[in-house]
Structure 1
Amino acid sequence: MEEITNHLEGRLDTIEEGFKWMSSGVLEDTLACVDSTAFIAAKIEIKSEKFERLKFRHEDLVKESRTWSEKFHVLRNLQKELITLLPQAMIKSKDTLTSENKNKNLTIPSLIQFKLPEFDSIPAYMKGRLNYNSLNQALEEFNSVLKTKYTFFNQGFNPNANFKTKTKYQEMKKLETKETKGLCFLVMDDIKALPSFKTDSSRKSIFSILRHFHKIKEIRGPGSIVRYAVIEGI
């Protein structure tokens, strides 16, 4: 507003200066001043009309904004009233949902370590280069990763968590199938970094032994995904 006022005042000063030239009595200067003054006056009139239109538009926007603000408050109040009319069974707080999730948590199993007589009963071709201590060490590593994974998973999906945490949970959820219901499992991405599972030969021997003693079962697909699900004690 101040900028427009200053601009118009500047234009009026120019017209006033022109009138001084007109009073000098010089014909050429007077005609030039008349032309210039008429042009400036026309521009002032156009800008003045434009300003009036903007002024009215601004007033309309203010009124519209107030109207929408009033509607918003009405809707908020209506929402509060509707919630009070809903059956209590339909109103679930965050604490209620968390409690329900806890009731559905999976019990995290552990692979029981081999006793020496059990280890001695394993066929030589199945053991390969594995010894008693290295086999049980592999079970400890497997159990540790399984516990960490399902402790996180049992917390449920948190929409307020960061992107990395939400993505991790969703990727775990995608790996579940009808066959994995009620089971805890690991996939190769969970296992391959573990010291006891780094080589193909070690992994092959360990999983062959675990299947042989019905400690795990493999659930395959879709594609090349293999899930190593713990079934011991189930």
Structure 2
Amino acid sequence: MCPLVSNMSELEDVSHHIHDRISSVHRMLDLSVVELPQRKKLGQEFVALEKLLEEFERCVGRQKEQLKQLKELEETFQKDLEDVQHLKENIPAHMPRKKGPANGGEPVLTQKEAADVQPAQSENVKKTNKSVVREIEVITLPEYESIPPYMKGRVSYHQLNAAVQSINTAVTAKYKILRQSAKTLNNQARKLHQRFKDQETKDTKGQYFVVDDDIREFTQMKADKRFQGILNMLRHCQRLRELRGGGITRYMLL
């Protein structure tokens, strides 16, 4: 039984006893006017009533203490609730998440998902895996804090991860075009497809990369000095590396 309910039941029992004793005292007072022997009994009832009143005070004291504890618990719970609500309303837009293998191949499956995959579906799974595009993993807070201050400048943690998201957008858009047949594309997309092909070298085979023009084409970011500073931070966090050649700087995903 809940301690508070138990104390309330105890308090009610004591209250009933006090009420019964008071009623008994009233009867004896009425009888004491005509019956002298009742006065001795009346004194005993007063003693019993006094003890009951003392017990009643102790019960009240215990309930006051429990009420105080419950109020403190309520305040703690309310603070926790406010903290949870604050976290819910301020979830970073770019939470770290587990990515697939570095080669952009078969995605990671949970045990349940793996158990649901039937052998007859293996060909479909392989076809789906070919459409998976590599992305840069978001920067964790410890990684951000490890970046030297001179390198970070005024770029905040959220701004850095917003840039990561923009680069991933450019990568996804670029390789979506590359994986289509040039015959199925319109004139503008066909020109982009050819440009992407021309930028590839033997060193980029099987790798994902973007260049400054891709950033301008597919995102709202400017490939300016600030962007170069962000790239330095991403290289520091081992998300990118540069590959130069043919007058182009390629930002290779790691």
TM-score scaled by length of structure 2: 0.46
TM-score by length of 1: 0.49
